[in-house]
């Protein structure tokens, strides 16, 4: 008789991050390339917070002196997303830069249309990195796709000397150096690393809230190496970002069976073939979340995910689908917990799915908050002010 | 309609032409190094793939066709399948360490570079997005939120379009007061971006796929580049 080992149930297993990571260490390769005079490595400025990534390596997350690499989808269509990231920095008294000499990573277009190539994509990335380096501020990437794509660019640059040569020549024409940051850092990693400081300043009780989490594919699947994992969250079997923040804020994070699935964004699909995006996001994500977890909110950390999960629900409602789940980013939830205004800072009126019940459950009066926002806007309309500033919302 | 994998539809295309395109895919530096190491036919990529749930689409078939060097099948897939991919890279969990998603990226680039008719069809209606990203440095802009462009997103798009200017001015970060770009991008930065498109052959790709768009982009870029003193940049 063969005795097979008895494997404990997943919930009882003590999963350890591997002592010997199965992949090469990009830090070592970057250091080597720098020693050889091939590249400049921009170091994470102090103070930084150390976290662990998928294969147990240490990643440094900068606390401040961050150069905010904005997201075109966030800034263009859900601007409370980026505004909340800046608001958190300001409230925590941290030094940051919101640059005008930044371009989009152009990866949304690349993944949608392929009307580009590795040289162009790497040059766009390095132009942004070199620009950040010149200021002394460290790139903090707002978009999950920019984050994923820049990891791809880093991988290509460290493996293909001919690509480095081409990009170096292009940068020389622009008067810039070939700079690669020591770590490619996504803003949600910064929110995760800062979660205890955010908790210290929490003024809105969130303990009655149940949330589901959707992690962005380009964060944890595309070059999985850099994503944050910890045994305390999902036993290090899934990435810890978003969930770690929500739990710190007292939110009940509920699980659902399609956690690993994509949101349905599809890059070209969301723009020119939206029947796919709508169907996938509603049938594989929103409906499953509602049926299995009945959450008050779903929280994600990327441009495309917020857009697809939120906007797709309108048409699905007409088809009698079980929808009506508000969608916010972790930066918006963190800001809300610290007392940010739902319309002046979170800009929730740019979101589609009704979120007034969620606000009411937090003890916030959505009508009153909207009146406050409209009063501010009236000052812009009557010409007494041209813009609202941070002083108007802090 | 299902995906027709018989060679009938493309039997007029010379085998040599199909082979040339496959060779171009294989010549990409990412092909052997990261995209394809062979295939177990395990289907794990299909199980994780969102597009496989809604289309007659399979990353396994694409990985298999490439691994077996099936020139005819690769040609069919390059025409009739790759544009269904969502580029989510869920398939990167492949136990063989393949990246079917990256293989598809390479195939798409080859399809665009060679101006395949099916690539032109797949990108129909997409030109305005290419124009936006290449000419402004940000891909989506607030003024794209128009009810006729997003009828399935409901009345809230109408509200945004109606209040666009004042709602943008109500944003506290000063870089976000724009309506035609996601944020304010400096002139110098735009010029640098144009130079990158020019130096990396992206303009040639655009010319191959959409001549009208190419002409418009050249017009816009040449003027700005000339103003900035780059007279010798010829497209
Ligand atoms: S997961 Fe990898 S090995 Fe398995 S079928 Fe897909 S490409 Fe082949
Ligand atoms: S990248 Fe494409 S092939 Fe791979 S899982 Fe996503 S949709 Fe499927």
List, for residues B130-178, the tens digit of each pLDDT value.
999 999 999 889 999 999 999 999 999 999 999 999 999 999 999 999 9
**Mind telling me how many Å the CA of A122 is from chain B's nearest CA?**
10
Q: Residue B234: is its pLDDT beyond 70?
A: no
Query: Which residues does residue A67 pair with via DSSP β-bridges, in sequence order?
Result: A97, A139
Pick the CATH number of A26-187 from 1.20.1050.140, 3.40.190.10, 3.30.230.10, 3.40.50.2000: 1.20.1050.140
B41 CB-near residues (< 8 Å, 6+ apart) = B60, B64
* Binding pocket residue ranges, ligand 1, CB within 6 Å: B 39-45, 59-60, 63, 94-96, 98, 100
Taking each helix axis from N to C end, the angle separating B100-113 and B71-80, rounded to the nearest 10 degrees, works out to 80
Q: Please report the ipTM that was assigned to this predicted complex.
A: 0.94
Strand order in the sheet with A66-69: A96-97, A66-69, A138-141
The CA-atom distances, in angstroms, between B166 and each of A165, B143, B188 are 47, 13, 28
Best to test chain B binding among A115, A215, A388, A394 (most B CBs inside 10 Å): A115
Q: In the prediction, which pLDDT does A316 show?
A: 95
Query: Which residues does residue A329 pair with via DSSP β-bridges, in sequence order?
Result: A300
Taking each helix axis from N to C end, the angle separating B187-199 and B211-227, rounded to the nearest 10 degrees, works out to 130
**Mind telling me how many Å the CA of B202 is from chain A's nearest CA?**
5
B122 — phi, psi (to 5°)? -60, -30
CA–CA separation, A73 and A56 (whole Å): 32
pLDDT band at A188 (very low <50, low <70, confident <90, very high): very high
The fold adopted by the segment(s) A202-374 is Rossmann fold (3.40.50)
State the maximum Cα–Cα separation within chain B, in Å, rounded to a whole number: 60
* Binding pocket residue ranges, ligand 2, CB within 6 Å: B 48-51, 59, 85-91, 100-101, 104
Residue A269 in tokens: 């699909």
CA–CA separation, A280 and B132 (whole Å): 27
Question: Which domains are assigned to chain B?
Answer: 8-121 (1.10.1060), 127-227 (no CATH)
Chain A neighbors of B153, CB-CB under 8 A: 311, 314-315, 352
Q: Does A190 touch chain B (CB under 8 A)?
A: no
The CA-atom distances, in angstroms, between B15 and each of A83, A329, B106, B204 are 55, 50, 20, 26
CA angle, B51 then B53 then B57, to 5°: 55
Q: In the prediction, which pLDDT does A13 show?
A: 66
R_g of chain B computed on alpha carbons: 21
Q: How many A from CA of A281 to the centre of ligand 2?
A: 15
Q: What is the mean pLDDT of chain B?
A: 93
Q: How many A from CA of B129 to the centre of ligand 2?
A: 22
**Mind telling me how many Å the CA of B5 is from chain A's nearest CA?**
22
Q: Does B30 touch chain A (CB under 8 A)?
A: yes
Q: Does A380 touch chain B (CB under 8 A)?
A: yes
Q: What is the mean pLDDT of residues A268-283?
A: 94
Task: Return the residue of B nearest to A216 by Cα.
Answer: B88
Q: In the prediction, which pLDDT does B232 show?
A: 62
B226 CB-near residues (< 8 Å, 6+ apart) = none
Which atom of ligand 2 is found nearest the CA of B87? 1
Which atom of ligand 2 is found nearest the CA of A266? 7
CA–CA separation, A48 and A42 (whole Å): 14
**Mind telling me how many Å the CA of A372 is from chain B's nearest CA?**
12
Q: What is the mean pLDDT of chain A?
A: 95
Q: pLDDT above 90 covers what percent of chain B?
A: 84
Contact A73 B182 (CB under 8 A): yes
| Helix (H), strand (E) counts: chain B | 13, 0
Contact A103 B93 (CB under 8 A): no
Contact B87 A112 (CB under 8 A): yes
pLDDT tens digits for range B61-96? 999 999 999 999 999 999 999 999 999 999 999 999
Q: How many A from CA of A294 to the centre of ligand 1?
A: 35
Residue B230: other Cβ atoms inside 10 A: 15
Q: What is the mean pLDDT of residues B41-45?
A: 96
Chain B neighbors of A170, CB-CB under 8 A: 195-196, 199-200
The residue among A363, A322, A364, A361 whose CA lies nearest residue A345 is A364
Q: How many A from CA of B93 to the centre of ligand 1?
A: 9
Q: What are the structural domain ranges in chain A?
A: 26-187, 202-374
Out of A74, A119, A159, closest to residue B200 by CB: A119
Q: How many A from CA of A383 to the centre of ligand 2?
A: 50
Q: In the prediction, which pLDDT does B235 show?
A: 43
CA–CA separation, A190 and A172 (whole Å): 32
């Amino acid at each position: 008789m063969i005795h097979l080992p008895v494997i404990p149930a997943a919930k009882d297993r003590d999963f350890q991050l591997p002592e010997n990571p199965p992949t090469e260490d990009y830090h070592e390769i970057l250091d080597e390339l720098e020693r050889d005079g091939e590249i400049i490595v921009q170091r994470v400025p102090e103070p930084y917070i150390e976290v662990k990534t998928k294969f147990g390596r240490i990643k440094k997350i900068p606390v401040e002196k961050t150069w905010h690499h904005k997201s075109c989808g966030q800034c263009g269509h859900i601007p409370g997303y980026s505004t909340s990231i800046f608001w958190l920095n300001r409230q925590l008294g941290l030094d940051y830069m919101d640059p005008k000499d930044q371009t989009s990573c152009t990866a949304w277009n690349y993944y949608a249309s392929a009307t580009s190539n590795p040289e162009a994509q790497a040059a766009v990335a390095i132009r942004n990195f070199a620009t950040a380096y010149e200021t002394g501020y460290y790139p903090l990437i707002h978009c999950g796709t920019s984050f994923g794509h820049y990891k791809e660019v880093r991988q290509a640059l460290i493996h293909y000397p001919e690509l480095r040569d081409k990009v170096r020549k292009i940068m020389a024409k622009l008067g810039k150096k070939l700079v690669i940051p020591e770590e490619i850092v996504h803003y949600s990693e910064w929110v995760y690393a800062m979660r205890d400081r955010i908790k210290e300043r929490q003024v809105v009780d969130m303990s009655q809230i149940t949330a589901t989490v959707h992690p962005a594919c380009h964060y944890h699947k595309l070059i999985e190496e850099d994503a944050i994992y910890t045994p305390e969250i999902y036993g290090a079997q899934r990435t810890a970002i978003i969930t770690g923040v929500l739990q710190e804020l007292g939110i009940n994070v509920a699980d659902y069976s399609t956690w690993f699935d994509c949101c349905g964004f599809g890059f070209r699909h969301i723009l020119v073939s939206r029947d796919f995006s709508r169907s996938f996001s509603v049938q594989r994500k929103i409906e499953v979340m509602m049926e299995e977890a009945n959450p008050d909110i779903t929280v994600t950390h990327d441009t495309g995910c917020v857009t697809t999960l939120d906007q797709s629900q309108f048409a699905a409602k007409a088809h009698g689908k079980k929808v009506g789940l508000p969608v916010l980013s972790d930066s918006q939830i963190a800001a809300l917990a610290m007392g940010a205004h739902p319309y002046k800072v979170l800009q929730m009126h740019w979101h589609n799915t009704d979120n007034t019940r969620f606000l009411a459950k937090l003890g916030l009066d959505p009508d009153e908050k909207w009146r406050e926002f409209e009063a501010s806007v009236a000052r812009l309309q009557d010409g007494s002010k041209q813009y609202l500033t941070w002083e108007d919302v802090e | 309609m299902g995906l027709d994998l018989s060679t009938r539809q493309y039997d007029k295309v010379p085998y040599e032409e199909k082979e040339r395109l496959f060779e171009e895919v294989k010549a990409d530096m990412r092909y052997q190094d990261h995209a394809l190491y062979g295939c177990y036919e395990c289907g794990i990529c299909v199980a994780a793939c969102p597009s496989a749930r809604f289309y007659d689409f399979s990353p396994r078939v694409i990985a298999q066709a490439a691994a077996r060097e099936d020139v005819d099948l690769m040609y069919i897939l390059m025409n009739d399948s790759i544009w269904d991919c969502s580029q989510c890279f869920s398939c990167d969990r492949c136990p063989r360490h393949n990246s079917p998603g990256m293989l598809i990226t390479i195939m798409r680039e080859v399809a665009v570079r060679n101006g395949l008719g099916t690539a032109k069809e797949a990108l129909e209606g997409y030109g305005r997005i290419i124009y936006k990203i290449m000419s402004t440095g940000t891909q989506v802009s607030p003024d794209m939120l128009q009810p006729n462009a997003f009828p399935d997103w409901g009345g809230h798009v109408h509200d945004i379009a109606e209040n666009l200017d004042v709602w943008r001015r109500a944003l506290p970060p000063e870089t976000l007061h724009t309506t035609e770009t996601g944020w304010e991008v400096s002139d110098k930065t735009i010029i640098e971006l144009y130079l990158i498109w020019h130096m990396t052959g992206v303009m040639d790709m655009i010319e191959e796929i959409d001549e009208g768009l190419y002409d418009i982009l050249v017009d816009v870029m040449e003027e700005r580049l000339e103003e900035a003193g780059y007279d010798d940049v010829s497209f």
